[in-house]
Amino acid sequence: MVWSASSKTPALIHILGFDDGAGSVLAEDLKGGVVRIDLRRGDVTRDPATKLSDFVSADGSAAYGVGADGSVTRLTPAGSWTFKPPTPAHDVVPQPDGTLLVLANRGEGTMVWLIRPPEDRIADSVLLPRVTKSIRTPAGDRVYFSVDSGLVGVRGRDLQIVPSLKLPAKPRAVVTSPSGDRIYVAADSSNELLVVDRYSGAISTRITLPSAAAALRMDPTGRYVLAKASTGDTAYVISVSTDRMVSEAPTLWRADLPAVAPNGWLALVRGKDVVLADAESLAPRKTITNGAADDWMFISWNGFRPRAASLDQPVTFESGDTVQRDTTENPFAGATPSAGDTAQADGPKSAAPAPAPSGNAPQPHPAPAHAPASDSAPKASGFTVQFAAVRAQDAATDVLKDVQVSGATPRLVATTRDGVTIYRVVIGPFPTREEAERVARTSGKSYWVYEGAP
């Protein structure tokens, strides 16, 4: 036990997200109220119950819901905001940049409006064929919608229509990789899981499953896709790096579980217990007795750990003419790494920029790109920041050109597993997760932090 609330928490039905910057969990309770659990102060607050449905959140702070009259309400710690669209809304898609997509059926199609709360003005709009589901890429650059013939999509920032993805059958469930370069689709009446390349719009791989998938769930760090079997209590585990099913895990399928923990273990429901198991061998690693009665969410957060004293030490140089050597490969070489803290959750990252460095400090030379990692190379300790993990080298290079951070130089690393090469845009490793998060936030981009070298 590393934390407990100072007050009682109402019965929860849905965890909406985690606000990394505020250190708070956002959830919906049985009475339709929005609950905020502050991990720093230890208190629990509750917004008044509202007549809203289908609460969603992109950042773990603002909760959006649709009223019976089709109005849209946003609930934040600072207050509420309500928008009444020209046609009653039936769905909303909050985006990482704070904007909001509002959906309403109109005739044979679906109208999508772009709003920038708390403004009531419609910034942009587009009319699409009648859609059934919406899927936002974690990076927030595209939003896809399910239609009978496949997927239609728009750019999140301006609703510019992107090429449609034609599929052999109506999509039943859809998820995207964290970088958004691959789209996994379970189609109606098919045992195949289709992997669609976002850039070509073509089906790149067909993964045959023992039975049709009724639902899909993506590992937040992009290692595995979980597919719910259409019959029985089983989850199929698909490796993203190889596009192969690696295990069949017996488990109930709930809104929160099964899930992939930050260290790669699976959290599975077994009767009254929750079992943490290896994702591929399914070997049990730990059992939480009566854990099935709890609501689960995985986060990577270091708010419980005091700030390392070494981070506040002044930087000294041997002389005024001494220039530090280039430490791009490991900018904190020689520092003693500290272990990260893992709690039950995995939430979005705060994008608050850190102060830019001042003075005329020498700039590090660009790191060599496209250097494949060797399986026999020694593993460096620390924490690595990853901005993308894609199969297309050109796509990774585009991301690399677009990422700028303060105090480090992003680089491209290629790793090969089972004959499949993945190109990753990374910085680090850093000695602590806190330092990795601080530097990554200066990019203003979506990112993932994991323990170890790339």
Task: Convert the pLDDT of each residue in 260-286 to its tens digit.
Answer: 998 999 999 999 999 999 999 999 999
Output the 3-class SS for 213-238.
EEEEEECCCCCEEEEEECCCCEEEEE
Task: Report pLDDT digits (tens) over 166-193.
Answer: 888 889 999 999 888 899 999 888 899 9
pLDDT at 388: 86
In which band, very low, low, confident or very high, does the pLDDT at 454 lie, cut at 50, 70 and 90? confident
Higher per-residue pLDDT: 309 or 229:
229
3-class secondary-structure state, position 312: helix
CA dist., res. 25 & res. 32, Å (int) = 16
pLDDT at 174: 94
Nearest to 159, CA basis, from 135, 133, 127, 125: 125
Angle among Cα 89, 94, 96 to the nearest 5 degrees reads: 165
CA dist., res. 454 & res. 450, Å (int) = 9
In which band, very low, low, confident or very high, does the pLDDT at 312 lie, cut at 50, 70 and 90? low
- 97: its two tokens: 């940049």
pLDDT at 353: 41
pLDDT of 352 higher than 60: no
Average pLDDT value for residue range 280-302? 91
Average pLDDT value for residue range 134-146? 84
pLDDT at 359: 42
Rounded to the nearest 5°, which phi and psi values hold at 206? -120, 120
Higher per-residue pLDDT: 155 or 323:
155
pLDDT at 453: 81
What is the β-pairing status of strands 273-277 and 284-288?
antiparallel
CA dist., res. 313 & res. 49, Å (int) = 48
57-66, 189-198, 344-353, 438-447, range with the lowest pLDDT: 344-353
Angle among Cα 321, 327, 330 to the nearest 5 degrees reads: 155
* pLDDT over 70, % of the chain: 82
Q: What is the pTM of this model?
A: 0.67
What is the β-pairing status of strands 44-46 and 34-38?
antiparallel
DSSP 357-403: P-S-PPPPPPPPPSEEPPTTSPPPPSEEEEEEEES-HHHHHHHHHH-
CA dist., res. 118 & res. 112, Å (int) = 18
Which amino acid belongs to residue 124? D
Rounded to the nearest 5°, which phi and psi values hold at 393? -65, -35
CA dist., res. 26 & res. 322, Å (int) = 49
CA dist., res. 227 & res. 252, Å (int) = 12
Rounded to the nearest 5°, which phi and psi values hold at 56? -140, 160
pLDDT of 209 higher than 90: yes
pLDDT at 308: 53
pLDDT at 270: 95
The number of C-alpha atoms within 13 Å of 80 and in the hemisphere containing its C-beta is 15
Can you name the residues that pair with 144 across neighbouring β-strands?
Answer: 135, 153
Angle among Cα 2, 386, 204 to the nearest 5 degrees reads: 120
Query: What are the chain's domains?
Result: 12-300 (2.130.10.10), 327-356+367-451 (3.30.70.1070)
pLDDT at 292: 94
- 290: its two tokens: 């009566």
Task: Report pLDDT digits (tens) over 412-433.
Answer: 999 887 677 888 899 989 988 8
pLDDT at 379: 46
